[in-house]
Each structure stands twice: as C-alpha cells, then as structure tokens.
C-alpha cells in the first residue's frame, strides 16, 4: 500500500476567475499524503492523551477488583479504534478506474471553454477516465471518489464506498472508548475529593506514609507526582471527554439519519442548498429568476468538486466536515 506517494497524473481545477498560473496539487493517495490537516493532528493528540491518562493514571487507581475490567475493556476499545482509524486513513477511496490508471505525465488543466464541468457523462476530464455515476471529483484530494460521501478533515481523507464502514466504526469505537475513559476519570475525581485513601490500594503507596505523594504510570513505571496533579488531570480529561462525546454523538446520529433516509452527506447538502435557494428565490425574485438561482445553488466547487452538468460557473460550498 503506497501511503505517501505523489501521482503526477493529477492537477488542480482552474479557479473560477480563470487565468493565472495553475500549481499542480500533490498527489493525495490517502490520509497519509502530505500535508497533514491540523484537525488530523488534533485527533491523534487527543487519542494519545486519552490512552495515556486512562491506562497510565486513572485505571491503576481503581479498586483492585475493577482493574482487570478496566484494562481489558478500555484497552480493547483503544486498540480497536486505532485499527479501524488507521485503515480508514490508509485506504484510497478513489474510483476504481482512477486507481487502475498508471500512465505518467501531467494532466491538462481543466478547460472550461470546452467542458462546463470536470465530470460530464460519467467521464472526468481531470482524471481522464470514465467514472461511476455516484463518483465525485474532490478538489482537496484532487481525484474522483467512488460513492463520494464527504471529505473528512479529521482523517485527512475522502470518505466513500471503500472506507465508509471503517469511518463509521472509527466514530463508534472512539465514542465507546471515550465513554470508558470518562467512567474511570470521573470515579477517580470524585473519590479523590471524598476519600483519597480508597485510591491508594497499589503496593507502591504502602511503602510510604506521605499522603501527599502520589504515583502515576503504575504499576510498571511508577513516577512520583504531587497530589494536585490527579484531580486536575481528571477534570481536564472529563472536560475533553464530554466535549468529544457530544461531537461524536452528533456525528453518529447525523450519519444514522443519512443511512435511514438512504442519503450521503453530499446528497444531503445538495437538498439543503436546493431548499434554501427555493425559499429565498421565491420570496424575492420572479419565477424565471428563481429558476436561475436554484440552478446556481446546485453547483459545487471546493471540497465537493465539480459534478453538475447543468451549470456553467460553480460556486463554493462549505465542506461537509463543517457539519461535524
């Protein structure tokens, strides 16, 4: 699996203003392709923070009869999330014909004077291949994605037919894992305020009478720590965990709604834009102008690429990750 190669066969679409030098984009084979997105880096930092604090600080302070369940359940969720997240990032969601294409050489800059859109009659004039009817050209990844759903900035990769299930499993496993971290962090925080002695059951605490001395990273690599570190870390973890759970629950609920209605994120945004354009145009303009505005609202650029064969000048649409 080529996770960080460059593909000379892709280039960026022309800007709406036309003209100007076109700078070819780096090949985006998958989420490991350069450059990383800041949200992708934030996701990995949060994962490391939750894994280190839960397995290294909070779970070792739980009652002895809770330790096996704490380590096993939390460990399984963290490892499971890591696996599906890495697979979702690593898979190339491009259309099959795009992935099969091996010819070298630069792709011509899109000529709008000859073609209204990048994809016309299931042929992409940037990728220079025939694509499926549900494939869309993502300008962030600069390739046609099979059954395009959205471009996920947390994965730094498009979500399509090949990795949609992995994306959902990543969301679900992250939500369950953070819930388990929240349970252990909340218990430690409350118990530290009520009766800290209940947290000092490890053998390392029995060799000292200093109740202000605490250990982290028990039992394998104990490190001395001040007592205030424990509740502060627990409070920070609870805050980040609640915020993460709220966002993940909203995202999971949104995709459950989409699956129930057999829609993709892309199709949902299309319908929302269509409704907004219809309401706004019918209230302010005559019927003929309203029809023209509605058609313009159905054009897309930016992350969602160019796909509508009825429009001459695409407009920018906010990327689907703004819904997350």
**Within its chain, how far is the Cα of 15 from the centroid?**
26
Distance, in Å, from the CA atom of 239 to the CA atom of 18, rounded to the nearest integer, reads 47
DSSP 82: H
Query: Residue 186: helix, strand or coil by DSSP?
Result: helix
End-to-end CA distance of the chain: 29
Backbone angles phi, psi at 215, to 5 degrees: -120, 140
If we measure between CA atoms, which residue out of 89, 99, 77, 88 comes closest to residue 31? Answer: 89
Contact 315, 323 (CB under 8 A): no
Q: What is the set of active-site residues?
A: 152
**Within its chain, how far is the Cα of 127 from the centroid?**
25
Distance, in Å, from the CA atom of 13 to the CA atom of 155, rounded to the nearest integer, reads 23
DSSP 107: P
Distance, in Å, from the CA atom of 116 to the CA atom of 110, rounded to the nearest integer, reads 10
Backbone angles phi, psi at 235, to 5 degrees: -65, -45
């Amino acid at each position: 699996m080529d996770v960080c190669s460059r593909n000379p066969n892709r280039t960026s679409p022309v800007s709406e203003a036309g003209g100007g030098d076109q700078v070819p984009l780096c090949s985006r084979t998958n989420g490991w392709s350069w450059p990383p997105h800041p949200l992708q880096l934030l996701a990995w930092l949060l994962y490391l923070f939750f894994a280190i604090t839960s397995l290294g600080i909070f779970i070792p302070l739980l009652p002895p009869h809770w330790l096996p369940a704490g380590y096993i359940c939390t460990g399984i969720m963290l490892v499971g999330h890591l696996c599906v997240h890495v697979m979702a990032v690593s898979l190339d969601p491009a259309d099959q014909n795009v992935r099969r294409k091996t010819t070298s050489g630069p792709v011509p800059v899109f000529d709008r004077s000859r073609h209204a859109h990048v994809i016309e009659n299931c042929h992409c004039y940037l990728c220079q291949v025939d694509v499926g009817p549900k494939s869309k050209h993502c300008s962030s990844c600069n390739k046609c994605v099979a059954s395009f759903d959205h471009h996920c900035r947390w994965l730094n990769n498009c979500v399509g037919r090949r990795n949609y299930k992995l994306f959902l499993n990543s969301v679900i496993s992250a939500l369950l894992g953070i819930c388990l971290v929240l349970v252990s962090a909340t218990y430690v925080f409350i118990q530290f305020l009520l009766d800290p002695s209940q947290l000092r059951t490890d053998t390392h605490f029995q060799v000292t009478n200093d109740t202000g001395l605490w250990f982290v990273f028990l039992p394998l690599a104990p490190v001395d720590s001040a007592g205030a570190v424990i509740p502060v870390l627990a409070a920070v973890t609870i805050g980040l965990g609640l915020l993460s759970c709220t966002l993940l629950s909203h995202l999971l609920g949104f995709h459950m709604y989409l699956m129930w209605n057999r829609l993709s994120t892309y199709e949902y945004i299309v319908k929302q834009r269509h409704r907004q354009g219809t309401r706004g145009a019918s209230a302010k303009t005559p019927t003929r102008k309203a029809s023209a505005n509605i058609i313009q609202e159905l054009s897309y650029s930016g992350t969602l690429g160019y796909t509508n064969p009825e429009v001459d000048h695409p407009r920018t649409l906010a990327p689907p990750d703004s819904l997350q």
